[in-house]
Chains A and B, each alone.
Chain A
Amino acid sequence: MTEPIVTREEDRTVVQPAGDMVAAYVPELRLLLRDMVNGGARDLVLDLSKTEMVDSTGIGLVIGTYNSLNRVGGRLTVIHASRDVLQLFQTMRMHQRFPISGD
């Protein structure tokens, strides 16, 4: 899979994975997101416009990133989730913890 796209807009950091957030690709994405938080990102946006599938490992990554940001007073927002991914996140009650929006 190609590299995620990272853009910075003032204090906000937007990370757009290049594809699915699934077990095979989560380790490299985890390193990137960890570096972002350790590097000072506090307003992190996960843009899922290129993500068709998220599995339980990908959900774990999103929760882990939220936990890391929460510990340092930061915040996580998920945008452009597909209808299926949005429904999965809602089923897993992730929308109760941080903002998640669809296409």
Chain B
Amino acid sequence: MIPPVEAACEFRREIPANLAAVEEFCMSMRRWALSMQLPNRFPVELLTREALINAVVHGCACDSSKKVACVVRLRPGRVIIAVNDRSPGFNWRAVWKRTPITDSCSGRGLAIIRQYAHRLRFNRCGNSLIMIKRLTKEGNR
């Protein structure tokens, strides 16, 4: 198990695969980001939420006995967000460029990640995602 770490430039947790744990993680991360005076907090939190929801809902089927690990690293001029779980993953290549259906109530998580991350990389089986968000003084996208 990964112990909680809130070193100056890193926020790391391993959480059970449920939405309440995602919320708790994100609120703790929000406090950490505020304490670090991190710019672009909204897109960083949004990217983290979407990656965690994907891992919890699609990777682990909201099975709390499974674990999802997340680390948010602050680096000069950028934030690196890594999320991974131990599920078999998913075929991200099949859905990667899919445009959300306008009337649909779901299917926007990856579209948001595509829009807000400057760089990202899935591993081969799709159970690990690394996103890079460049920090800017103006604008939050």
Contacts and interface: CB of A to CB of B under 8 A. Distances in A.
A49 B137 CA distance: 24
Interface string A56-87: 11011101100100000000000000011001
Given A24-B19, A55-B53, A92 B45 contact: no
Interface of A: 22-25, 52-53, 55-57, 59-61, 63-64, 67, 83-84, 87-88, 91-93, 97
A6 B103 CA distance: 26
Contact of A92 (B20, B103, B111): B111
B18 to A, nearest CB: 9
A55 B46 contact: yes
B106 A60 contact: yes
B2 to A, nearest CB: 22
Given A23-B19, A55-B53, A92-B100, 18 more contacts: A22-B23, A22-B26, A22-B49, A23-B22, A23-B49, A23-B53, A24-B20, A53-B26, A53-B49, A55-B50, A55-B112, A59-B108, A60-B104, A60-B106, A63-B105, A87-B141, A88-B46, A93-B102
B28 interface: no
10 contacts: A23-B23, A23-B49, A53-B42, A53-B45, A53-B46, A53-B49, A55-B109, A56-B108, A57-B53, A92-B100
Contacts of B109: 55-56
Give the size category of B's interface with A: 20 to 34
Interface in B93-141: 100, 102-106, 108-109, 111-112, 115, 140-141
